[in-house]
Structures are given as C-alpha cells and as structure tokens.
Chains A and B, each alone.
Chain A
Amino acid sequence: MSTVIQPSALSPDIDQTIAPEPGFRATLMHMIFGRKSTVFAMIVMLIFIVVAVLAPWISPYDPLAQSFLSINKPPSAAHWLGTDQFGRDVLSRMIHGSRNSLLFGLISPALAAIFGTALGVTAGYFGGAVDRIISRLIDLLLAFPELLLAIMIAAVLGGAFWNIIAVITVAFIPGFARVARASTLAVKQEPYVEAAVAVGLRTPTIIVRHIIPNIAAPIVVLMTLWVASAIRLEASLSFLGIGTRAPNPSWGNIIRDGLNNLFGSPWPIIAAGFAITCVVLSFNLFGDAVRDVLDPETAE
C-alpha cells in the first residue's frame, strides 16, 4: 500500500499518526488478493459454481443413463472418472450432483445464519423474559440430533427442494443462535454500546450498527464450517430417501450408493469425497479471509 504520512507539528500528542486509511474497497481488494490461499479458495469455488451452472451443457453423458456393458469401470478416456455399478458415468453424475449439493450446502447455512443470528441477538440484547423464551426454544431444538430433527420435519412437510432447505436450516439455527447470543452478551457490556445510547441512538440502530458488526466474525466462520455439515446432512437425508431421490444425483447419494459397491468400484466415493473436501476447504479459507476483512485490526 502506498501511504503518505503527514506528521503534524501542531500535534499535542506524541504523533503516532498512521497513514490515512486506504478506504474500505481498497482494503477489501487487498484482503482478497493479498493472500495466496484466499485466491486459491476463490478459484476453486468459482470452478465449482461454473460447473454447477453449466451442468447440462458440459456433462459428457446423461447422468441417469445406465449401460450394462460398462459396469464398475476404472477411469478411462471414455469415462474420466469411471462408472458405477449401473454403468452410469461418474463424472456426469458428479457434475449434475454439484447443483443439488452446492445449493443445499450454501443456502441452508446462510439462511440459518440469518435467522439464528436474529434470534440470538434478540435474546442476548433484551435479556429477561425474551431471553428465557428464546433460549428454551433453542434448547428444545438442540435436544434433538440434527438428523432426527431433519427427518421429523421432512416427514411432515414432504421431500420437496425447499422443504429440505428448510429442514437443514432449522437444524442449524440453534448453533448460530447460541454463538450470536453469547457474543451479544459480551459486546452489550462494552462501553461503546453505552456510548451509542448516550449519543441518542435507538435500539434497532444500535443492534444493526454496533452489535452485529462486532459479533460477525464467529458467525461467518461458523457459516463456512457448516457448509460441510449441510452437504453431509443432505447426503444422509438422500440416503434415507428424503433428500435428493435416486436416481437423481447429489454428492451425498453418490457416496451412499458407492458405499454399497466399494469393492466393485471405489471411484464414485473418491470423486465425491474429493469434491466435498475441496468445496469445504475453499469455503473455510474464504471464511477466514472474510473474518479478517470484518476485523479492522487484522486488516493492515
């Protein structure tokens, strides 16, 4: 960063002036492109997203087409990632499956973060009866394992796409709410919140401008971590016949199908496992970068 330091002779303090700030956009650009791991993560994310969007045009075969002539084949020029026990092309199934997996993996944690944070901040900031009611509700949700909760809701609502999103979202809300509530309790005690009240700000403004930006870091990190859990949960639901229905592919049910046929052909599991790992890792790295952007002290 090019910086101009202008020491002031009139300064009554010992002048420890730091350069004029480069502005938010410049900081953001620096954060994103200044670190190799972040650039790498963004490239990986971009590739997966492009593949998911272009799936029907770039997949070499129909992901559902079976062929008894080529069952359990290892990778070859015709089938880059081999074939599964029904002779379906694994690469085509991976490409089509990325649509479901990425949608579930991204939308659910994002929605859960929004609702969970809203609940947690409300409970933490207002305290008293509001806190007790919300906290007990959260405890109630936490008492059920995520999967059980998801099955329960899916059984009631049915297995449509948005229902599955809702199911995973509800299952993730308690985690976000707890983190948001605990962080709010800590931030609420800070003198700058009291100072904001003393300046005449009203409660909604204080929450939006002073509380939420200061609790954003753990929430963002949690969100990126749970991209992985969401993909996994969708896989479990698919296996149980609630999520993506066979024969339609998602990374989750590619792994599930592949488990039964591990000794026939390991390639579906290897491909799907590698894809999930890549996506999760790149989201985590990206999450770290976002967290650093949100905290001005590390944004140097």
Chain B
Amino acid sequence: MRDVYVIGAGQTPFGAFPGRSYRDLFAEAFSAARDSVDGDVPTGDIDEAVVGTLGVGGRQLGLPGPAVTEHVGLHNVPCTRIENACAAGGYAVRQAVQAIRSGMADVVLAGGFDVMTDMSGDVTKYWLGVSGETEWERLTGTTFSGVYAQMASAYLEAYDATPEDFGRVAVKNHANGAKNPKAHLGFECSLEDAVSAPEVAEPLNLYHCCPTSDGAAAALLVSEDVVDAYTDERIRVAGVGAASERVGLAQRDSYTAISASQVAAKAAYEAAGVTPADLDFAEVHDCFAIAELVAYEDLGFCEPGEAARLLREGYTDPDGELPVNTSGGLKSKGHPIGATGIGQVAEAFDQLTGDAGERQLEAPRYGLTHNVGGSGGASVVHVFEREEVGA
C-alpha cells in the first residue's frame, strides 16, 4: 500500500462567529491548509475532497460537501460528505487516506466545518442531542452532557477518581489553550474555578464541558508518489484505526470505556508499529472531562482506573511524559463538530513541523489524534510520524 503524507493542515480560529457563513469559514481553513504547505498546491492538482460535517442548524443538510468545495473553486472535483457526528472530521481524514492508498487519488483535501453559535440555546440543544440514540436514550431527556454524565457517575463509582479530577482536565487544557491564538476559550482557569462552576448534568459542571463553536479545518494529504512535488517535510500517516460501537450507552458492555476507541487505537498502533510509550504527544477527544480520562485508558496510556493519577502527576502536562491536548483540546480550543477531528490533525501537523509557536514541544516524532462521535458510537485514531528527510 502506498504511504500517505500530510503536506499541510490548517484551521480557522474556533469561536463564536455568528456573522460568518460556513462557506466563508471553510474557505479560510482551505487557504490556511494550503498556506501551510512548503510549496504551491494548485487547485487543479486536487483529485478528490472529503468533507465532514454534522450539518448543525440544518443549513445545508443535503450536499454540504459540494456546497463548500465548489465555493473554494474545486470545480467538478468529486466530493463526499462524511457524517459520523463529532468524529466526522477524523473520518474524513481516514477517507482521504483510503482514497490515496487505493490509487484512485494522489492529492486529497479533507475538510470539516460546523456553525453552532447563530442559534438559540434550545435549537442548539436539539442539535447537540441528535447523535444520541433517539428512540430510547434521548427520550429519557438527555443530550450529550447527560450521557457523558452517566458515564462519569459509573466511572466515579468504579474507580478512585473524584470530580476534582474532572476539574484538572479543564485546568490543563485551558492552560494549553491560552497559548493557542486559534482557541475559542483561550484563557486559563484555576482548579477552584473548575470545581465550583454551575452544574450542567450531575456530576458534570460547566467547566467539565467543551463549548459549542464555529469553525472549519482542512488538511491536504498526498501519496508518496507526489509528495516531493509539494514539500520537503515528511509527515507520514503512520497508522489509522477506526471502529463503531452501539449508539446507545445502555446497550454497551461498559460505561467506563469506549470500545470503539480501544479497537481503533490498537489498529493504529499496530499499523504504525508503535506503542503508546513511543508517542510524543496526543490530541484526544475531550468533549467532556470524563471523556479525556476514559481516552487515556482506551488509548493505552494507562490501565483502566489510572487516568486520574496521570492527571494528578502531570504526566499529560506539556512538560510531562506524554503531553495531551497541547492545542487546548475541545475544552479550550473549541468544538465545531465537523471541524474538530481535522483541527486535531492541524495541531499534530504544527507540532511535527515545529510550527506550534508557544506550544511547541521539543522535536516530537510521533503524535496521535483521537476523534470520537457521539458518546462513543464512532471513533477514529491516527498516528502521525515525522520522518527524517533522507532517512
């Protein structure tokens, strides 16, 4: 199979931009991705496009993909829309990798967007709940905060963790996001702030929940056959893994782990020939604080029940053994559904190419991105490797 390289990735700032259109945001992300490539990527070189979006707001439920790719001039380029809730972006990247590996394309644009802040709170909550299992789970009156809160209740019961540990996720990710000019909530918070915030769904409070954001992100992926034409960087897609899980939490074997993430991670590690110990950083799906704890365990950073200890010991701080969510994560950087998974790739690309500014880690080689849809109904994991040029 042909190797696939990321030659560029970028994003709009994530935030509240009710005056901007989804096309306009997508165009900015596309330009940011193209500008991040060493050389030029003429529009005509792009063979294929994959666009991830949930379609929040219902503004373009049908054909949202062509609506944005035609807008940026990818005229007559085949475009497929990917919908896998909050994992739409990550799955769009995976789809781009598949297109290149299959030989059908050499240069693929993977993009994603959603606009979430130009609606009333009630309309927003409707959309936040649409990826929960509708007939049974949603009809107990939950949106995702409620479902993740149920996971949190089971986690607190099963393991030696406290709501203060959820607060530690917020403190860490806000500290990281404060250094990210693209972050939606780019300010620091104290543990006191994070544990005393208003309750959203017991045991989760406001600081245990990511914001709803507007934004777009894009990545350009190419085959090994053409990578030389665009860049001297070698950011290789070393491993990809993805899996589904039953959509309703109650149907699952565990409420304290997401099996789709476990399976996806295992596949991505095997493909990349690495173990979690080889990773230099990870961008994980922290839509709720409990999700980051569960991610540490699903991704093999620690044993089940050990995630709180990692946080307390600073293992995942920027100066720790395995920095997690240097971008600020969904919590601080923001979560414009379809853009999120590709925004993670943009952070990985910046870290691996040394363009992460104040957040830059020291010469990382392996980085992981982890993107989850719904409460775990879909998960996708990528491992990226910075290859030494000439190696």
Judge: A and B partners, yes or no. Answer: no
List chain B positions with a Cβ less than 8 A from chain A. Answer: none
List chain A positions with a Cβ less than 8 A from chain B. Answer: none
